Amino acid sequence: MDSLAPLIASAIVAGTPLMLAGLGLLINERSGVINLGSEGMMLMGAISAFAVVVATGNFFFGFVAGALVSMLMSGFFAWLTIWLGANQVATGLALSLFGVGASAYLGLPYAGESLLPPQFGVPLLQDIPVLGQALFSHHPMVYGSLILCVAIAWFLGRTRAGLILRAVGESPTSAHSLGYNVRRIRLAAVLFGGSCCGLAGAFMSLVYTPLWVEGMVAGRGWIALALVAFATWRPYRLMAGAYLFGGITILTYHMQALGVPIASQLLSMLPYIATIVVLVLISRNSTWIRLNMPASLGKTFNPNS
Res. 2 pLDDT band, cuts 50 70 90: low
Whether the predicted pLDDT of 100 surpasses 80? yes
Q: Which pLDDT score is estimated for 1?
A: 55
> Is the pLDDT higher at 84 or at 285?
84
Q: Are 254 and 7 in contact (CB under 8 A)?
A: yes
Nearest CA among 193, 203, 229, 269 for reference residue 16: 203
Q: Which CATH class is domain 4-292?
A: mainly alpha
Encode 239-281 in three state secondary structure: HHHHHHHHHHHHHHHHHHHCCCCCCHHHHHCHHHHHHHHHHHH
- Burial, 105: exposed, middle or buried (Cβ in 10 Å; 0-12, 13-18, 19+)? exposed
Q: Give the span between the Cα atoms of 27 and 186, in whole angstroms.
A: 9
Res. 175 pLDDT band, cuts 50 70 90: very high
Q: Which pLDDT score is estimated for 129?
A: 85
Q: Which pLDDT score is estimated for 288?
A: 67
Q: Are 20 and 202 in contact (CB under 8 A)?
A: no
Res. 166 pLDDT band, cuts 50 70 90: very high
Nearest CA among 252, 191, 235 for reference residue 69: 191
Q: Which pLDDT score is estimated for 171?
A: 94
Q: Which pLDDT score is estimated for 3?
A: 73
Instruction: Indicate the pTM of the whole model.
Output: 0.93
Q: Give the span between the Cα atoms of 45 and 197, in whole angstroms.
A: 7
Q: Which pLDDT score is estimated for 28?
A: 95
Whether the predicted pLDDT of 296 surpasses 80? yes
Give 235-274 pLDDT, tens digit per residue. 999 999 899 888 888 887 777 666 677 776 777 777 778 7
Mean pLDDT score of the chain, rounded to an integer? 90
Q: Average of pLDDT values for 199-227?
A: 93
